A = this chain, B = another copy of it.
Amino acid sequence: MHAIGVDIGGTKIAAGVVDDEGRILAKTRRDTEPDDAASIDAAIADVYAELSAQHKIGAIGLAAAGFVAADRSGVLFAPNIAWRDYPLRDRVAALIDERLEIVVENDANAAGWAEFRYGAAREVEDMLTLTIGTGLGGAIVSHGQLVRGFAGVAAEVGHMRVVPGGHYCGCGHEGCWEQYASGSALVRDAQAAVVAYPDRAARILELAGGEVDKIIGPHVTAAAEEGDALAIDLLAELGRWIGEGAASVAALLDPAMVVIGGGVAAAGDLLLTPARKGFADQLSARGHRPEAEIVVAAMGNDAGIVGAADLARI
């Protein structure tokens, strides 16, 4: 069965027709207005109309950045879109003539599911995917099943606390993993380094045009690839936190594989090597157990589309 997967970002949606092998047969996109939920509904209906003109569609999966209701009918809360207890499934269904299965899934869950079904983790049954962009999202698969939790909000891995009294988090708490293992953390650490070690931070600052507020993650990665010592250290620190946090998750879930996706993964071995070291250093009971592999995601930016589509037809 072919299904449409829709990846709903704040300012645009991307949609694709996905076949049973996880291949995208057609893609399209629309700009949207995050403050106008109805505009998103309409955009989804519109991409459906476009894609279903050429393909027979059996289901639609909607990947949403937010807390998704346990029955997959809508969004309880979204940080960046005007959704509060929003019945996204029914709103979209009302705009579509056909009767077909529509499900809402958390976007990180969708992306992780794509890795599990068709990507880096397709050979394992137990997996953790970390999607590391501005924030830190995750997806957990246990014994072949997506772990959604009782209220549908499992795998909010970014809010596992890793440092009591640590960095403030947007969630109102302190020390959340996301504040140490995300693109935002990398940028803040680079900005702090400009103050604490101006000499060491010169190259990163230069890449940002001399403006500390303009530093972005790719500046750090670029500097590190040139061999800049501070940039290498900053990525190593980010990787260490990824690995050490993953070791805590592994104490709970014993995954066979940890998949690293999101924009931060572009740093490659500069990030992965310290992540693997941090994981190995902190994994409990090493030597008495097989160890999870840490690998880079394989599905790229389409993971959300593919995973949402696939989850809609299960």
Query: A208 interface residue, CB < 8 Å from B?
Result: no
Q: Contact check, A194 vs B172: say whether CB atoms are below 8 A apart.
A: yes
Q: Return chain B residues, CB-CB under 8 Å to A193.
A: 172
Q: Contact check, A180 vs B165: say whether CB atoms are below 8 A apart.
A: yes
Q: Flag the segment in A89-97, A139-147, A220-228 that touches B.
A: A139-147
Q: Contact check, A288 vs B167: say whether CB atoms are below 8 A apart.
A: no
Interchain nearest-CB distance for A61 vs B (Å): 19
Q: Contact check, B287 vs A198: say whether CB atoms are below 8 A apart.
A: yes
Q: Give Cα A197 to B173, complex, Å.
A: 10
Q: Return chain B residues, CB-CB under 8 Å to A249.
A: 252
Most chain B CB atoms below 10 A, which of A180, A193, A195: A195
Q: Contact check, B161 vs A285: say whether CB atoms are below 8 A apart.
A: no
Q: Give Cα A167 to B152, complex, Å.
A: 31
Query: A282 interface residue, CB < 8 Å from B?
Result: yes
Q: Give Cα A288 to B126, complex, Å.
A: 28
Q: Give Cα A170 to B188, complex, Å.
A: 11
Contact indicator per residue, chain A 243-282, by CB within 8 Å of chain B (1) or not (0): 0100111011111100000000000000000000000011
